[in-house]
Homo-oligomer: A and B are copies of this chain.
């Protein structure tokens, strides 16, 4: 049944590529890939056996499902152009922080399919283990989207636009900001002639640990131990880099604040 639905991908960036490749591997055909850049459209389309188009005029009208993975501001700007003439179809976007209502007034059947994962063209993602959060403007399409998404992932949940925004914000902390801390560690090690690879077992264990302990329980390090001597040694080492020094101080203070709160909760 799913295989009979005709799917079009609008966008050819990291998320569109991740979704497109996952659909292809599941045997769900994508008939067309649209990107404003012909080269990007072609790169993804070739991988998944779809037609590549880069002009809005050539975008098919007869698909059943349109998945829109464009940069947020482009998507918001082009919503009328995407919707026009496709009122019969279900249109979904994949953005964490764009409300479903962005579609309202432009088309009849719409929703959101938000994969909570970080995608890069350089890495293949196993979508079956990626939580997919869905939302649609009718119970029928919610049901359809749930069934359709369940073919791709073992973890499909409904989330309204507020919950999705909360998920996205938490993902920025737990992924994008985390990666930036890796980048700081990388630069610091490099400037001391040490390889970033030495940190990988620690990075892996830090991620694994929160599978079985809550992040609060898992917290370790000089800040939560109130090891002021080490904190001072580190702040002194960061003296030439005031931004990282301030970041170190702020995060350490924040860890101590959160720990104090936890203690207070336990006492009360």
Q: Which of A's residues lie within 8 Å of B, judged by CB?
A: 14, 71-73, 76, 96-97, 116-120, 122-123, 125, 129-131, 155, 157, 159, 162-163, 165-189, 192-194, 196, 198-207, 209-225, 227, 229-230, 233-234, 237-238, 243, 246-248, 250-251, 254-255, 257-258
Contacts and interface: CB of A to CB of B under 8 A. Distances in A.
B215 A175 contact: no
A175 B202 contact: yes
Interface centre among A157, A176, A194, A247 (most CB of B within 10 A): A176
10 contacts: A14-B220, A73-B227, A163-B194, A169-B237, A171-B202, A175-B205, A178-B206, A179-B215, A180-B255, A183-B216
Given A130-B201, A188-B166, A192-B166, A123 B178 contact: no
Nearest to A198: B131
Given A72-B230, A229-B72, A206 B180 contact: no
Contacts of A97: 222, 230, 233-234
A176 to B, nearest CB: 3
A14 B251 CA distance: 22
Contacts of A222: 97, 172, 176
Contact of A116 (B171, B193, B201, B217): B201
Contacts of A157: 198
Nearest to A262: B183
Contacts of A250: 243, 246-247, 250
A202 to B, nearest CB: 5
Given A117-B201, A201-B129, A233-B97, A210 B179 contact: yes
B203 A207 contact: yes
Contacts of A238: 169
Given A119-B220, A174-B206, 7 more contacts: A122-B212, A167-B198, A169-B238, A171-B202, A172-B221, A175-B202, A203-B207
A189 B210 contact: no
A170 B183 contact: no
A227 B248 CA distance: 26
Given A199-B116, A207-B204, A233-B165, A221 B175 contact: yes
A35 to B, nearest CB: 16
Given A196-B214, A210-B182, A255 B176 contact: yes
Contacts of A257: 243
Contacts of A173: 181-182, 184-185, 188, 248
